[in-house]
Amino acid sequence: MNETARMSRSASFRFLAWPLAALLLMALAAPEADARRGRGGEGDHDDAMRYLDEGRSLPLEKITRIATTAVGGGEVIEIEFKVRDGRPVCEVKIIDRSGRLREVYVDAQTGKVLKVEGGGRRRSRDDDDDED
């Protein structure tokens, strides 16, 4: 490789190095900032643990029991912890005993059932959201 080609290649690399370095730094800093807000890799887990540790939330086992009882039993498939209007709320998704997807919103501090949604079309374990 001649000297001119080598210098041209080196200049191209230097031209790309700064933007790439800046992108790398932004990518590394973003998760740290999100984690400080309780939105890191664990999502709402940090908020839920903080509320539980501070005595502002019931244990998850109790919340799931309350939600499951509200729909007459079933299998919990997902739980989301959110803070709404300064109050901790758990959205508990349950496949009820008749196979219907239900969403139960529970005030995580008091255990009060705020809302129950769903109960429409029956779902089976083979159902998925992908179209074949």
Q: What is the pLDDT of residues 85-128, one digit of tens each?
A: 888 999 999 999 999 999 999 999 999 999 999 976 665 555 55
Torsion of CA 41, 45, 49, 52, to 10 degrees: 160
Quickly list DSSP for 31-55.
HHHHHHTT-STTTTHHHHHHHHHTT
pTM above 0.75, yes or no: no
Domain ranges for the chain: 58-122
Is 80 exceeded by the pLDDT of residue 75?
Answer: yes
pLDDT at residue 6, rounded to an integer? 55
Q: How far apart are CA 106 and CA 70, in angstroms?
A: 10
Q: How far apart are CA 67 and CA 2, in angstroms?
A: 73
Check if CATH label 3.10.450.40 holds for domain 58-122: yes
Strand pairing report for 100-107 and 87-96: antiparallel
Is 90 exceeded by the pLDDT of residue 71?
Answer: yes
